[in-house]
Amino acid sequence: MKQSKNTICYFKPMRKSVILSGCVISLMLITSCAAKRDLVYFSNLANATVVNNPQTAQEVRIHKKDIVSVSVNSLNPESNKLFYVVSAQSGKEEGYKVSKDGTIQLPLLGEVKVEDMTVEEAQTAIASELTKHVKSPVVDVRLINFKITVIGEVNKPATFIIADEKVNLLEALGLAGDMTVYGKRDNVLIIRNEEGNKTMTRLNLNKLESMNSPYFNLRQNDIVYVEPDKAKAVEYSQNTRLLPVVIASISALAVLAAVLLKR
């Protein structure tokens, strides 16, 4: 049986449409590898929510190898100057390093035990010893080396010195320029050194409940690692380096198919 010219003409545009549709679908499949991500912090937050965070006032304790600043204000200006240690090279305050036995070596007092004390407890202990030598001393103690490190998918990964010894996870991310669009907000890793042992936990910053974690408020020497999501892994993998070539080839085939089907 012979096909009529009308039938042949009908199949040509139909074949053309099928081929072009296949090319378009292929391009869409190749270029839509990234999964949907929630880029909003605490996206389950209601319009009005009160969060009671019992960890906000967590105590910072002094450990071995910490460096503490000790300043004294008393009626004797000469005694006050003895406690202020300045580097001859940089002109910056050096402070006192906590030794292996948990003490610092202070003028007039000698060794003073400060390990495992809070800053306030250390101030009280030093002031108590100073009253034997100086009248009405007021002591201020600070941790000079209170630092946290933020790495991974953030805009400015670095180690940061915290002046007031208090910083939470959101503030740390703010210091690091916030996460990039590839950062996994639902899987932020906190690495902490506790009594010589490293502990690790993951927080989901898409959920408000993460603020109740004891890891939300950071401690000295904590490391925050923001993991990249799969979209970045796909983008930077060796296979995707050929993606522009594949897309260009499919586009060229689509154009060629359209030209041939017009004949």
In a domain, 43, yes or no: no
Give the residue, 239 or 111, on which the prediction is more confident: 111
pLDDT at 204: 94
How many independent structural domains does the chain possess?
A: 3
CATH code of residue 86 = 3.30.1950.10
What's the pLDDT band for 236 if we cut at 50, 70, 90?
low
Asked if residue 233 belongs to a domain, the reply is no
Same domain, 245 and 187: no
The string of pLDDT tens digits covering residues 187-216 is: 999 999 877 788 999 999 999 889 999 999
CA distance 170 to 168: 6
| Top-confidence residue, 254 or 220 | 220
| Residues 20 and 257 sit within 8 Å (Cβ to Cβ) | yes
CA-wise closest residue to 217 among 62, 63, 55, 59:
55
If asked whether residues 178 and 193 sit together in one domain, one would say: yes
Q: Of the candidates 118, 143, 168, which is a domain's last residue? A: 143
When comparing pLDDT for 251 and 142, which is higher? 142
- Supply the pTM of this predicted model: 0.67
- Quick: pLDDT tens for 141-154: 999 889 999 999 99
For β-strands 103-106 and 110-113, DSSP reports them as antiparallel
- Tell me: the pLDDT tens digits for 29-65? 555 555 566 666 666 666 555 555 554 456 788 988 8
Looking only at the bridges linking them, the beta strands covering 158-161 and 147-152 are: antiparallel
Please state, for a pLDDT cut of 90, what percent of the chain lies above it: 40
Do 152 and 135 share a domain, yes or no? no
The residue range of the domain holding 248 is 5-35+238-262
Indicate if the pLDDT at residue 173 is higher than 90: yes
- What is the model's pLDDT at position 11? 45
For position 215, what pLDDT does the model report? 93
Tell which of 143, 174, 191 closes a domain. Answer: 143
Report yes or no: 39 and 229 within 8 Å, Cβ to Cβ.
no
- 142: CB partners within 8 A, 6+ apart: 68, 69, 119, 163, 165
Q: Give yes or no: residues 135 and 153 share one domain.
A: no
